[in-house]
Structure 1
Amino acid sequence: MLNKRIITSQQLKPHSHSLHLYYSSSSPPSNQQAPPTASLISTVVSILTNHRSKSRWTHIHSLFSSSGFTPTEFSQVTLHLKNNPHLALSFFHFSTRKSLCNHNLLSYSTLIHVLSRHRLVTHARDLIRVAIRTPELQCSNKDANFVKPLKVFESLAKTYKICGSAPFVFDLLILECLEAKKLDGSLEIARLLRSRGISPRVSTCNALVSEVSRCRGACVGYGVYRQLFGLDCEIDGDVKWVVRVRPNVHTFNTLIVHFYGDGLLEKVEEIWEEMMALNCVANVYSYCVLMAVFCDQGMMREAERLWEEMKLNGLEYDVVAYNTIIGGFCKIGEVKRAEEFFREMGLSGLESNYVTYEHIVKGYCHVGDVNSAILVFKDLCRKGFRAEALTMDVLIGGLCDKRRVAEALEITRFSMRYFGFCPTRKSYEFLTKGLCGEGKMEEALKLQAEMVGQGFEPNLEIYEAFVDGYLKEGNEEMAAKLRKEMFEVQKQQEEQ
């Protein structure tokens, strides 16, 4: 049962998109310095706006190098420059570089608002990033990572109205908190906004859902999704659907892919149905993930139904879509059907990638057709692709099962030499057991030594393969010695 946080009816009352509602006053914090004199502000603003680039900085420095500016004075100057954000930012950098102002959250917040109003996102986020880590935010609270973003949020909220800002600034704060791995702070800011009827943008909500799902699991992410989009709202004891900002296809794709990644395949279908209920149009990525769910369960008829549905909806298949359905058919042994999609992929003008070839190699090995698997593997190599370790394990194992150990060893050495392939324990076991089975004990010993050199200690299967090999060639003494050693290893493993 997924956890769902209930939003109270008090939280759902409509409010204007005005952050001064958080506080009784929109004035700066009470611990700031006394208001600056009008003459100082007008002088600085006049110099900044009327003097040329070089002379303005020289003039300001000559006048204020000894006294400097308080954060309140800097904020007042910045407010006069709110229609010239680049000049305001230059003034900030100048005052910092020349140590003319000991900036605090008030001065940071004012400039962040000014930059956000003009959608200077990079500069605004740079300042937010510094503000989150500014020395004034150091505190004794052991949960400092939680407190810092809220202090920045409080300062931005208090200066919101006077700066004529917009809720977009809080999206930047949330995103920067996520970037700084301050997940709890990000969530609390989003909840504070929602409690006043203000929703972060849908892209910000999606980023929150994605990060929560990644860090705390898809079920927790789903609970956050329902909070952010107002889908669980208790009014007079009844749960009603109230959508302030509508989820989009990227929202549902985020949920779908994380549920799929967590192995909760039935939840993927539930999210799909919820997406349809909200009349959200699925895209190619959505279909690919749901197809992957069906393919993982061998439900290829359902996967093909989705494939046809994509065509009816006018969606163009991409490489991921083709690889998904090709992999599904290879998994259940219908490699010929997979080849049909592979040919269709080429005719459509799409370039196959290493994943496409790997699916088919593993598919042919799965049905025991190693000759076809080798042909496809050679095509893979000619294309300049490098097979993953799992694919190599399957191919090497398939060849060894057919008693073609020499070919398996040749492919292994070739891949090591030209593609930097590092054999896995599984590959070494296939090859060693294969050599022992053919009575090539010296080669098997050399390979087993190489295996140990790569950090893979011999297990019971390897010992049994050597014992059987020595018995076949009549070397009972060596077989008895190894059997004794095998029992000692087995005993040590049981004790551990």
Structure 2
Amino acid sequence: MRLFQANLFLRLDGVLSKTARARPSPPPAAVALKATTFPTSRGALCSKASSPAMAAALGARKFAIISRRLSVGGAAEDEAVVAEAVAVLSEQRRRSRWGFLKAVVGGKGLTSEQAGKIITRLKNKPRLALRFFHWSEASSLCLHDLSSYAPMAHVLARGRLRRAAVSLLRAAVSREEDAAPDSVLAALLESYRACDSTPLVLDLLVRACVQARQLDHAMRVVRQLRARAVSPAGATCNELVRASCGASGAAAGLAVYGELFGGDSPMPASPDVQTFNSLLLALHREGRVQEEDADRILREMERRGCRPDCFTFCVRMAGLCAGGRVAAAEALFAEMAAVGIKPDAAAYNTLIGSLCLAGEIARAEELFRRMATAGVAATAASYEQLIAGHSAAGDATAALGLYEEMSRRGLRPEPSAVARLVGALCEKKRVTDGLGVLRKEMERTAGGLLLPCREMFVSVIEGLCDEGRMQEALELQAEMAAQGLAPDPQICRAFLHGYLRQGDAATADKLFDEMRTRSLTPPQEPDQDRWMNDTQAQRF
């Protein structure tokens, strides 16, 4: 152990001797002590450490020197600690630098101000500075506050490490102490020149507030920046508008837009098509895409010279279709192609779904074929819309064909679409086909998080009971329970009717008693007395 300690300080002596030339001169007594105690060259030091005992003694005396240096205090000693730490980080190898740094810091650790100075001097090595920041916190050597957070954010912004800078600023604005973004902004402005920073760091602070869901704070920071003739980038303004729409609705998004891009706003950033798309999407989610606000947004979009893109047309088409104006949506689809915008899969799917809901399956199929001709690859949503439309129209054969084609292409439908297909097959007395689809979905989702939905099991169990295949229905119900889906009154009613059709009144009677115990008594049906005797009918 002594030999290891001596070797550690032998290696450390080379680093400290280099930094000694860059530090202010120590007091004469310290100089004399150093000159008489330790040689400056590694070779001379190693020649004196010719035995383990002597090496241990040299290491112990070296440790005393370092401890004395760190315990003196004062501005000069603070500068010495910072200089030594920077030298270790810059000159030592990656694996050994952290052990040396612990020896330099000692048991006292670092203050956040010292850490901030070290980070500032590493401003041209942002990744190393970030490793030091996290290492000092993980090693419990520094309790960081805004004195170190602000320089670290500046260094990351200078190095264009945007994601790391936003993550750091999010942590800063979310801290229990100094949580107000005003304090973070003040710290950034105070250390701006010392870090030779870039305005990007202020833009990233706004993004950090948005991602931390502190939208009011984000707007307050924007106002303070605007008072200093600094403005966030257009993408950051778009993110703020989008977040306001998502959090508080279209009205809040329009208010934020007016403040950021209004006529009396000194912001040099200009809105783009993404800005207006966010507002239109918020109106669509509220069912207001065809109201006056939407028209005002479209006029503002034209006044600003923003050319609508495919997403703009998709949102407007979706609003028309939601209002039942499918013909107007088709006209808008044609207009999109006329102005030179190629419809994407979302545009086709919007119109295909609307035609299917309107019962115009043939026109939906035609549009689906046009989609393939235009070179636009069909998505899972394309098939799901058609499967749902054919299932609702009672064409189980066409729906099953689309499902199989979808599977061959490696596309996986949503459980709701498969449930419609299974229901349509069972209604057409094709219970075996419905059971096959259910089995396929169960195999596909084995071990996954997305399991077949309850409606699939209910449809197949009802179909099996109607055909008198009670044993298969019981086995399927057991598999359903294994998936965590408990039986409900609809399933119990299907079993009751199945047993009564077979004349097994005793089993039906036991099942009914169990249903009543579990509060699963099914609702009455007008024709249930066809399958029950008079006594059993009275019990319902």
SS, match of residue 429 in structure 2: coil
Match of 2:183 in 1: 151
Deviation per CA, 1:77-103, whole angstroms, max 9, x where unpaired? 998x8xx95258767877997999997
The amino acid of 1:86's aligned partner reads: N
SS, match of residue 451 in structure 2: coil
CA distance, structure 2, for counterparts of residue 484 and residue 94 of structure 1: 70
SS, match of residue 208 in structure 2: helix
Deviation at 1:281, TM superposition (A): 2.1
User: Does the 8 Å CA contact 1:298/1:331 hold for their aligned counterparts?
Assistant: no
Match of 1:254 in 2: 278
User: Does the 8 Å CA contact 1:252/1:271 hold for their aligned counterparts?
Assistant: no
What RMSD over aligned residues (CA atoms) do the two structures have, in Å? 4.4
Deviation at 1:301, TM superposition (A): 1.0
Match of 2:534 in 1: none
Match of 1:473 in 2: 502
User: Does the 8 Å CA contact 1:451/1:457 hold for their aligned counterparts?
Assistant: yes
The amino acid of 1:253's aligned partner reads: N
CA distance, structure 1, for counterparts of residue 399 and residue 157 of structure 2: 57
Match of 1:121 in 2: 162
CA distance, structure 2, for counterparts of residue 294 and residue 227 of structure 1: 26
Deviation at 1:447, TM superposition (A): 2.4
Deviation at 1:430, TM superposition (A): 1.0
The amino acid of 2:237's aligned partner reads: C
User: Does the 8 Å CA contact 2:512/2:521 hold for their aligned counterparts?
Assistant: no
Match of 1:208 in 2: 240
CA distance, structure 1, for counterparts of residue 467 and residue 110 of structure 2: 87
Identity value in percent: 32
User: Does the 8 Å CA contact 2:383/2:406 hold for their aligned counterparts?
Assistant: yes
Is residue 2:306 matched to residue 1:275?
no
SS, match of residue 86 in structure 1: coil
Match of 1:105 among 146, 150, 153: 146
Deviation at 1:201, TM superposition (A): 1.9
CA distance, structure 1, for counterparts of residue 159 and residue 256 of structure 2: 29
Is residue 2:330 matched to residue 1:301?
no
Match of 2:348 in 1: 322
Is residue 2:463 matched to residue 1:438?
no
CA distance, structure 2, for counterparts of residue 378 and residue 367 of structure 1: 19
Deviation per CA, 1:424-471, whole angstroms, max 9, x where unpaired? 211111111112222323322332333333333332322332333333
Distance verdict in 2 for CA 1:464–1:120, change over 3 Å = closer
CA distance, structure 2, for counterparts of residue 71 and residue 217 of structure 1: 38
CA distance, structure 1, for counterparts of residue 314 and residue 361 of structure 2: 20
- Output aligned runs, 1:171-186, within 5 Å: 171-180=203-212, 182-186=214-218
Match of 2:391 in 1: 365
CA distance, structure 2, for counterparts of residue 311 and residue 452 of structure 1: 51
SS, match of residue 238 in structure 2: helix
In the comparison of the two structures, how many residue pairs are matched? 431
Match of 2:487 in 1: 458
CA distance, structure 1, for counterparts of residue 127 and residue 503 of structure 2: 86
Deviation at 1:153, TM superposition (A): 1.0
CA distance, structure 2, for counterparts of residue 408 and residue 68 of structure 1: 69
Match of 1:265 in 2: 287
CA distance, structure 2, for counterparts of residue 409 and residue 428 of structure 1: 9
Deviation per CA, 1:117-160, whole angstroms, max 9, x where unpaired? 67453564465456557xxx653xxxx6xx24332111113344
The amino acid of 2:204's aligned partner reads: L
TM-score by length of 1: 0.71
The amino acid of 2:341's aligned partner reads: L
Match of 1:168 among 179, 190, 200: 200
Range 168-177 or range 96-105, more displaced: 96-105
User: Does the 8 Å CA contact 1:354/1:380 hold for their aligned counterparts?
Assistant: yes
CA distance, structure 2, for counterparts of residue 96 and residue 429 of structure 1: 54
CA distance, structure 1, for counterparts of residue 252 and residue 505 of structure 2: 62
> Over alpha carbons, which structure has the higher Rg?
2
The amino acid of 2:498's aligned partner reads: G
Distance verdict in 2 for CA 1:440–1:148, change over 3 Å = same
Distance verdict in 2 for CA 1:488–1:275, change over 3 Å = same
Deviation at 1:213, TM superposition (A): 3.5
Deviation per CA, 1:182-241, whole angstroms, max 9, x where unpaired? 555434323433466643222112222333443x3424642552354254xxxxxxxx76
The amino acid of 1:226's aligned partner reads: Y
User: Does the 8 Å CA contact 2:280/2:297 hold for their aligned counterparts?
Assistant: no
SS, match of residue 271 in structure 2: coil
User: Does the 8 Å CA contact 2:515/2:521 hold for their aligned counterparts?
Assistant: no
Is residue 2:117 matched to residue 1:86?
no
SS, match of residue 289 in structure 1: helix
Deviation per CA, 1:341-382, whole angstroms, max 9, x where unpaired? 211121222222222222111111121111111111111111
User: Does the 8 Å CA contact 2:283/2:294 hold for their aligned counterparts?
Assistant: no
The amino acid of 1:406's aligned partner reads: T
Structure 1 gaps of 5+ residues are 1-34, 232-239
Match of 1:17 in 2: none
User: Does the 8 Å CA contact 1:218/1:255 hold for their aligned counterparts?
Assistant: no
Match of 1:15 in 2: none
Match of 1:226 among 251, 257, 266: 257
